[in-house]
Amino acid sequence: MTLLLGCIADDFTGATDLANNLVRAGMRVVQTIGVPSAPLAADVDAVVVALKSRTIAPAQAVAQSLEALRRLQGEGARQIYFKYCSTFDSTPAGNIGPVSEALMDAMGCDFTIATPAFPDNKRTVFKGYLFAGEVLLNESGMQNHPLTPMTDPNLVRVLQAQTRRKVGLIDHAVVARGPEAIRERIGALRAEGVGIAIVDAVSNDDLLRLGPALADMPLVTAGSGVAIGLPANFGIAPSAGASALPVAGGLRAVVSGSCSLATNRQVRHFIESGRPALAIDPLGIAEGVDVAAEALAWAAPLIEDGPVLVYSTAASGAVQSVQRRLGVEEAGAMVERTMAAIARGLVAQGVRQLVVAGGETSGACVQALGIGQLQIGAQIDPGVPWCHAQVEGGAGLHIALKSGNFGTDDFFTKAFTLLE
Ligand code: ADP
């Protein structure tokens, strides 16, 4: 195996987002949950190691990222990609700066770029300022994020506060002129002692112009957007083969623990389409009822006839009332454990096509199913591909992990149709 791109992502659904973009650009991609201990699947162009390092202490994030780097270097990765969020989610202490710097030190490189630009998702960078949709980052709601409030939209300043390396800018006037101009600008910044340059990009064309200029850069740091311009550097073009997964079979189910507006619509749509659906009562779990066993008993006679849905998804009023009774974290953890047990039980009943809704819920289900690696397949909706994994006992499972606000209203039915 020649591993072309070795990627380190600072969270789980962000890793899938990057993997999805690489597959669409023609790479065969495996995503691993944490630094893999098992041998990697053969015949892949890129590996995305999913960490959970976005908001942990900088020293820990650095240590985990370096462990991932060593593993990817051990696989012969020709280029390393550090992936963070397209809203540059970071605490004042890090971790984008500290991790970038540690990777540079470990790789002995004196220059890299940084850009969260992802125009497909309305994240654009202009003169170093990050826009989310029509507004600056600090007016987008991100200024109120509970863990990573982003109050300064100027990425040069934000990153400079997190790193000892000098931070510079490759602005849009340069990017618009193409790869040669970008290379020249990189040379000039290097000569000025700049170690990391924020790069402007307001369109996919900008990212595709940036790609060739990064061909010889050992380390790239970015959101998932830059990935669309890299596979061509390795002679790879988009192809249907990149997203090919084993043929799907077995029973079908959806487990939904997300309470986002989009997921609420998707649950309603599934029910209105006449498919069987069971709501989970968090207060029942708290009272000691074996809710998972009840749900599995409910599903058993129905599931032979087509997909079933088990959901804790509820509107915000109901969720808040449960949270007031049980505590926010306690309610979340309890529901996650139950949904994970249900996912496990459904797979034991013969489910081989499973949709999971919710970022944290996905993490819990993947863990309960003992999944270490996901082969990335075709996109269902932006940011959500079908994946294939080996579960305990060696069976193959098609699994889609949908983070809260992704997907059209008919996602839960559409997903299965796509596998046919
Ligand atoms: P999203 O991707 O939409 O944020 P997550 O799965 O990441 O979804 O987060 C949803 C959280 O809400 C999880 O911790 C889940 O266990 C919890 N949860 C789900 N349903 C309920 C409910 N009915 N009441 C309280 N908490 C819930």
Beta carbon of 403 within 6 Å of any ligand 1 atom: yes
Beta carbon of 128 within 6 Å of any ligand 1 atom: no
User: Using CA positions, which residue lies closest to atom 3 of ligand 1?
Assistant: 404
Beta carbon of 257 within 6 Å of any ligand 1 atom: yes
Backbone φ and ψ for 330, nearest 5 degrees, come out as -60, -45
User: Using CA positions, which residue lies closest to atom 15 of ligand 1?
Assistant: 332
C-alpha–C-alpha distance, residues 340 and 255, integer Å: 9
Are 401 and 384 in contact by the 8 Å Cβ rule? The answer is yes
Beta carbon of 404 within 6 Å of any ligand 1 atom: yes
Ligand 1 center–CA 361 separation, angstroms: 7
Confidence (pLDDT) at 85: 92
CATH 3.40.50.10840 domain residues, the chain: 5-238
Atom of ligand 1 nearest to the CA of 13: 2
Atom of ligand 1 nearest to the CA of 326: 25
Confidence (pLDDT) at 216: 97
- 245-419 in CATH: which number? 3.40.980.20
Beta carbon of 334 within 6 Å of any ligand 1 atom: no
Which of the listed residues 326, 360, 362 should we mutate to test ligand 1's pocket, taking the one with most ligand atoms within 8 A of CB?
Answer: 360
C-alpha–C-alpha distance, residues 174 and 177, integer Å: 5
Beta carbon of 361 within 6 Å of any ligand 1 atom: yes
Token pair 């006037």: residue: 173
Beta carbon of 383 within 6 Å of any ligand 1 atom: no
Side-chain-side CA neighbours of 88 within 13 Å: the count stands at 33
**Residues of the chain below pLDDT 50:** none
What does pTM read for this prediction? 0.91
Confidence (pLDDT) at 1: 58
Confidence (pLDDT) at 142: 87
CATH 3.40.980.20 domain residues, the chain: 245-419
Neighbours of 171 (CB within 10 A): 17
Beta carbon of 359 within 6 Å of any ligand 1 atom: yes
Are 99 and 65 in contact by the 8 Å Cβ rule? The answer is yes
What DSSP letter does each residue of 141-173 carry, written as one string? TGGG-SSS-----BHHHHHHTT-SSEEEEE-HH
Beta carbon of 221 within 6 Å of any ligand 1 atom: no
- 5-238 in CATH: which number? 3.40.50.10840
